[in-house]
Amino acid sequence: MKNIVILISGGGSNMAAIVRATERDRWAERFGARIAAVVSNKAEAGGLALAAAHGIATEIVPHKEFPTREAFDEALAKVVDAHSPDLVVLAGFMRILTPGFVERYAGRLVNIHPSLLPAFPGLNTHQRAIDAGCKVAGVTVHQVTTELDHGPILAQAVVPVLPDDTAATLAGRVLAQEHQLYPRAIAGWLADTSRHIRKF
């Protein structure tokens, strides 16, 4: 069985979309895959309760308890490794990961970003797209590398920018696409057996 570990910091709406897809599309039967655990850096993250309600193991590694980013990432990696991950999925995990953590999971660490990368890496993507006069915006699923919001692109979805859009209205339409694209991109990754090389 291929194990997926999902990292979250908040409500976990993308995680919830992935959980629904695993059940609806029978990932255990089709890909021999399951969500082994959901891990958060915040005990109050709403997504933890949702994961537990679906019978998924949950873990908490509070980042504020660690003196350095490196110390937190090392503790996080130990928790993740306890679930023998084939794929580590960032789903609203609001921490910049150290190079050591990223390299530990090279080729099996993915993220979703609310822009059409390489355009608008970082924060405030929707307002930046509007300010730049973009006619389209969108969402990107990509492999994580040590350079923020870069790495090989696995999938993208395009969303039109409407004349009366605000950052909030555009974000809402992009989020709806995120919930569709992320599960599809992960399913594609699972179906590609050439990717499944564990590195510990």
Residue 33's SS3 state is strand
Sheet holding 136-143, edge to edge: 57-60, 33-40, 2-8, 87-90, 109-113, 136-143, 153-160
**Which residues in 41-80 belong to E strands, given as ranges?**
57-60
Residue 113 is among the residues annotated as catalytic for this protein = yes
Chain position carrying tokens 């908490």: 60
What are the two backbone dihedrals, phi and then psi, of residue 118, each rounded to the nearest 5 degrees?
-85, 5
Taken in order 16, 192, 119, 150, the sign of the CA dihedral is: positive
117 neighbors 149 (Cβ within 8 angstroms)? yes
**Which residues in the chain belong to E strands, given as ranges?**
2-8, 33-40, 57-60, 87-90, 109-113, 136-143, 153-160
Q: Which residues pair with 118 in a beta bridge?
A: none
**Active-site position among 113, 126, 179, 196:** 113
Residues belonging to the active site: 113
